[in-house]
């Protein structure tokens, strides 16, 4: 750490350098001019900086010894076409391949995680419901909770179950599907169920219309976790392939 006199000297030197460059205005300019007038070293520094500036301008440069014109081979290498262009993009030091591959791999891993971890099977349950249908589902759960009466649990369960052979096979209007474990849906659909009941004039605890359920079930099938898992695997494989291709190309000097 510099001592105070050294710091002062450095500050004075910077002020003189700024004065010499013509960068000061107002009070700073007045202070620097006063400094130059009162301090012989500062005055000498001011002159020396001007001398250096002129000398740097006149500094000769070594002559050019290389011709920088491009050959046809250079041009072909620098602006390739077709598949060479793709390969060049993959191997370029600053290309967007790496962030792209990172993004795809991350998305793939995240998708696989969501699709395979049992507690996170978001894609097959309430999130797939549209707003009125969600309220519909919550209506039944609320009804059960409010009355304490056992509602037709199997229907609710069937609605909430993401997929399954029985649900898939059940025709519209089929009364029952094999019972599965209940899936909690109240957190998603609980709010606003009272309003809905009031508007519909329905009685709590009464089983709900089933036509919508069947339509919902029919529409739910293509978006099951298996599709998410498949898409995730595709993303993951694409991302890893990009990483591998880039690594191989750079290693081979391509």
Partner 1 sequence: MVLDSRRLAAHPAFVRSSGRSRPTVEHPSPPAADDAVPRRDEILVERAKAGDVAAFNQLVEAYQDLLHSLVVRMVPDPDQAADAVQEAFFSAYRNLDRYRGPSFRGWLTRIAVNAAMDLQRARRRRPASPYPELEDESWQPPAGDDTDPERLALTGERGRVLAAAMAAITADQRAAIVLYDVEGYDYAEIAVMTGVSLGTVKSRIHRGRLALRDLLADRMELLRG
Inter-residue contact 160 to 216 (CB < 8 Å):
no
Task: From 48-56, 110-118, 123-131, 205-213, give the range in contact with partner 1 by CB under 8 A.
Answer: 48-56
The tokens describing 180, both together, are: 């599965």
CB of 5 to partner 1, least distance (A): 17
CB of 242 to partner 1, least distance (A): 21
Nearest CA to 230 out of 114, 102, 119 is that of 114
Q: What is the dihedral of CA 170, 172, 174, 178, to 10 degrees?
A: 30
> 62 or 119: whose CB is closer to partner 1?
62
Rg of the chain on CA atoms, in Å: 38
The residue within the footprint of partner 1, chosen from 29, 39, 49, 218 (CB under 8 A), is 49
Inter-residue contact 111 to 148 (CB < 8 Å):
no
CB of 77 to partner 1, least distance (A): 9
Using the rule CB under 8 A, is 57 a contact of partner 1? yes
Residue 242: how many CB atoms within 10 A of its CB?
19
The residue within the footprint of partner 1, chosen from 6, 28, 50, 95 (CB under 8 A), is 50
> 57 or 251: whose CB is closer to partner 1?
57
Using the rule CB under 8 A, is 169 a contact of partner 1? no
Binders of partner 1 in range 75-104 (CB under 8 A):
75, 78-79
Phi, psi angles (nearest 5°) of residue 238: -60, -45
Using the rule CB under 8 A, is 59 a contact of partner 1? yes
The residue within the footprint of partner 1, chosen from 62, 171, 173, 253 (CB under 8 A), is 62
The residue within the footprint of partner 1, chosen from 22, 26, 40, 82 (CB under 8 A), is 22
Using the rule CB under 8 A, is 17 a contact of partner 1? yes
Phi, psi angles (nearest 5°) of residue 241: -65, -40
> In which region does residue 30 sit, left (phi positive, over 0), alpha (psi from -120 to 50) or beta (all else)?
alpha
Round to whole Å and give the CA distance between 15 and 7.
Answer: 12
> 71 or 203: whose CB is closer to partner 1?
71
Distances (CA, A) of 38 to 5, 8, 33: 17, 15, 9
Give the interface size with partner 1 as a residue count (CB under 8 A): 38
CB of 75 to partner 1, least distance (A): 4
> 9 or 109: whose CB is closer to partner 1?
9
> In which region does residue 173 sit, left (phi positive, over 0), alpha (psi from -120 to 50) or beta (all else)?
left
The 8-class DSSP code of residue 85 comes to H
Q: Contact residues for partner 1 (CB under 8 A)?
A: 13-14, 17-18, 20-23, 45-57, 59-70, 72, 74-75, 78-79
């Amino acid at each position: 750490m510099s001592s105070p006199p050294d710091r002062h000297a450095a500050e004075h030197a910077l002020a003189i350098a700024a004065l010499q460059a013509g960068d000061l205005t107002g009070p700073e300019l007045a202070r620097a001019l006063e400094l130059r007038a009162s301090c012989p070293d500062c005055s000498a520094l001011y002159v020396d900086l001007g001398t250096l500036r002129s000398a740097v301008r006149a500094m000769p440069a070594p002559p050019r010894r290389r011709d920088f014109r491009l050959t046809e081979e250079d041009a072909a290498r620098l602006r390739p076409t077709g598949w060479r262009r793709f390969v060049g993009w993959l191997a370029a030091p600053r290309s967007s391949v790496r962030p792209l591959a990172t993004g795809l791999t991350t998305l793939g891993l995240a998708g696989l995680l969501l699709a395979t971890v049992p507690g996170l099977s978001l894609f097959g349950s309430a999130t797939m419901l549209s707003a009125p249908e969600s309220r519909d589902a919550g209506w039944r759960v609320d009804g059960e909770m409010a009355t304490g009466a056992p509602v037709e649990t199997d229907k609710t369960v069937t609605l909430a179950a993401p997929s399954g052979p029985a649900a898939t096979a059940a025709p519209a209007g089929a009364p029952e599907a094999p019972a599965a474990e209940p899936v909690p849906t109240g957190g998603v659909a609980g709010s606003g169920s009272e309003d809905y009941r009031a508007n519909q004039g329905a009685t709590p605890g009464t089983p709900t219309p089933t036509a919508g359920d069947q339509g919902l079930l029919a529409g739910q099938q293509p978006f099951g976790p298996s599709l998410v898992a498949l898409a995730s695997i595709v993303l993951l494989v694409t991302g890893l392939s990009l990483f591998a291709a880039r690594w191989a190309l750079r290693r081979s000097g391509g």
